Amino acid sequence: MTAPRPLIAGNWKMNGLELALDEARAVAAAVDARPPAARVALCPPATLVHRMAEALGGACVEVGGQDCRAEASGAFTGDIAAEMLADAGATLVILGHSERRAGYGESDALVAAKAQAALRAGLEPIVCVGETLAEREAGRTLSVVAGQVRGSLPAELAGKAFAVAYEPVWAIGTGLTPSLMQIEEVHVAIRGELTGMFGAYGAGVPILYGGSVKPSNAVEILAIPDVGGALVGGASLKAADFLGIVEAA
């Protein structure tokens, strides 16, 4: 099986008003002018998904959501369904980000239900896993991450487009990153889980790294075997920084 193109996805989190679409347009212009080796996606806040999809219509930059509800519709004030994201022009959705797991108590089972909803809506889920600093210091990184992978990925993902993002919680937004060996160790463990769950198909599922990825460390991180792309937070807000990472892939 040929390896899929790496995926570089930007997670804008709760950042971005209309004006920020200029950054997305700048990313799209550069990507279209010089097609990179990687697939490129931006995941803006829900309010910008439709406008970004329209602004980038026809460009080689995909648009994603940052979360969705497991249910398709109903009395869930403030929530957004996977089908709504797809209807707004999204093709991907980030699920189980540590800020959702920690801030909203999202369990592996809930993340798995959201992944099923994403599949029903035709969205490609990017399912996030990662250990806290306390878990790493207790030597539990591999067991925690393996458990999250097993619990958060429903069997229905077999044969479908999806990615896993390894994001150590302590590396997100902190400027800290694991050593290259530590990243590789966890990615190898995730690969083992994926092939255990999905057989040969699991060997080709992209495993992204996320957590303080920036242009200055992207080349070495993306060169690690089994790192199939990056999920980028802060450095995705400015086109120049994000493009520096895209070009590193």
Residues at the site binding ligand PGA, with contacts judged by CB under 6 A? 11, 167, 172-173, 210-213, 231-235
Contacting residues for 52 by C-beta, under 8 A, at least 6 apart? 21, 24, 42, 44, 63, 89
The CB-nearest residue to ligand PGA is 233
Is 97 among the catalytic positions?
A: yes
Nearer to ligand PGA, 172 or 205 (CB): 172
CB of 58 to ligand PGA, least distance (A): 27
The count of C-alpha atoms lying within 13 angstroms of the C-alpha of 25, restricted to the half-sphere facing its C-beta, is: 8
Nearest residue (CB) to ligand PGA, 69 versus 100: 100
Query: Is 50 one of the catalytic residues?
Result: no
Tokens 């929530």 -> residue: 79
Q: With respect to ligand PGA, which residue has the nearer C-beta, 164 or 172?
A: 172
Q: Which residues, in sequence order, are CB contacts of 62 under 8 Å at separation 6+? A: 39, 40, 41, 42, 91, 92
Q: What is the smallest separation between the CB atom of 67 and ligand PGA, expressed in angstroms?
A: 12
Q: Which of 62, 99, 167, 193 is catalytic?
A: 167
Query: In whole angstroms, how close is the CB of 114 to ligand PGA at the nearest point?
Result: 16
Q: In this structure, what DSSP letter does residue 89 have?
A: T
Token couple for 60: 């080689």
Catalytic option among 23, 62, 83, 97: 97
Closer CB to ligand PGA, residue 94 or residue 205? 94
Least distance (Å) from ligand PGA to the CB of residue 4?
20
b/e code 188-209 from CB counts within 10 Å (16+ = b): ebbbebbeebbeeebeebbbbb
CB 184, CB 141: distance < 8 Å: no
Q: What length does the chain have?
A: 249
Q: Which residues are catalytic?
A: 97, 167
